[in-house]
């Protein structure tokens, strides 16, 4: 599991080093990288409308805006991670993103 996340971070770093490249990690374990694309300098990122998620790990436009505050992200955005196993069941991202938005 951790290798997948490490691979996603490597892909994001590759995208950051190549300014004309936008990288998109797929699958459920690459979901976090879809949010971080803008932080790492992606020119484009994908989200679905609320009616249909097209690919596993793809977030809806509403999630990108309401939970992760995507329009406010930039290369200066601090990144924090939640460590645990199993992490998929944790509602921590809902709580932490709301708290950090207030600070």
Number of Cα atoms under 13 Å in the Cβ half of residue 75: 10
Write the pLDDT tens digit of every residue in 30-48.
888 888 999 998 888 888 8
57 CA to centre of own chain: 10
Which pLDDT value is given to residue 14? 92
Task: Give me the residue label for tokens 């790492």.
Answer: 40
82 CA to centre of own chain: 13
CA separation (Å) from 10 to 17, 23, 80? 11, 10, 17
Which pLDDT value is given to residue 20? 86
Could you give the domains of the chain? 2-102 (3.20.20.70)
Report the run of H or E that residue 98 belongs to, with start and end: helix 92-102
User: Across all residues in the chain, what is the average pLDDT?
Assistant: 83
């Amino acid at each position: 599991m951790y290798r997948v996340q490490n691979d996603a971070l490597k892909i994001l770093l590759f995208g950051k080093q190549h300014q004309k490249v936008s990288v998109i990690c797929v699958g459920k374990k690459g979901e976090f990288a879809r949010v971080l694309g803008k932080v790492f300098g992606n020119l484009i990122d994908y989200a679905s409308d609320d009616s249909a998620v097209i690919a596993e790990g793809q977030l809806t436009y509403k999630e990108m805006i309401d939970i992760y505050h995507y329009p406010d992200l930039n290369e200066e955005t601090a990144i924090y991670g939640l460590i645990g196993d199993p992490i998929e069941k944790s509602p921590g991202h809902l709580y932490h993103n709301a708290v950090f938005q207030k600070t």
